[in-house]
Amino acid sequence: MPRRLSIVALVIAALVCVIASYALRYLLMEGDQWVGRCVEDPSLLACQVRATLGWMIHLRVIAWAALGCALLAFVLPGVWGWRLAIPGLLLGLPALALYTASLAVFAVVISLLRLVRAPALMR
């Protein structure tokens, strides 16, 4: 796939990821309707997803995973580093939207730095 097409696909995936993250945040996590429903019947699937996501946010699982991917991508040379920077970015963006911005900002910046790094010259 040409580099320009892969960058366009990455930007589209990042936009979809940000939109989905904010929808998840404001509709499920902060939505008034789900607070009442989950108090009445916590066995609903949406309530279980909400509780699990709440624990993941509290323990910063998404942000740590994004930071781990980003740091590993920054160290790995060649295409493997570029490919690992993509999950670092796509995990870091939801972590920014879902209350863990202190760690996620580093993951997003490191991933973006790795993605824009010029490829090494062939010898």
> Any idea which residue has 């904010």 for tokens?
22
Sorting pLDDT into bands at 50, 70 and 90, what band is 121? low
**For residue 97, is pLDDT > 50?**
yes
Sorting pLDDT into bands at 50, 70 and 90, what band is 123? very low
**Cα three-residue angle 63-67-71, rounded to 5 degrees:** 175
Q: pTM of the entire structure?
A: 0.87
CA-to-CA distance for 108 and 43, rounded, in angstroms? 35
CA-to-CA distance for 109 and 20, rounded, in angstroms? 20
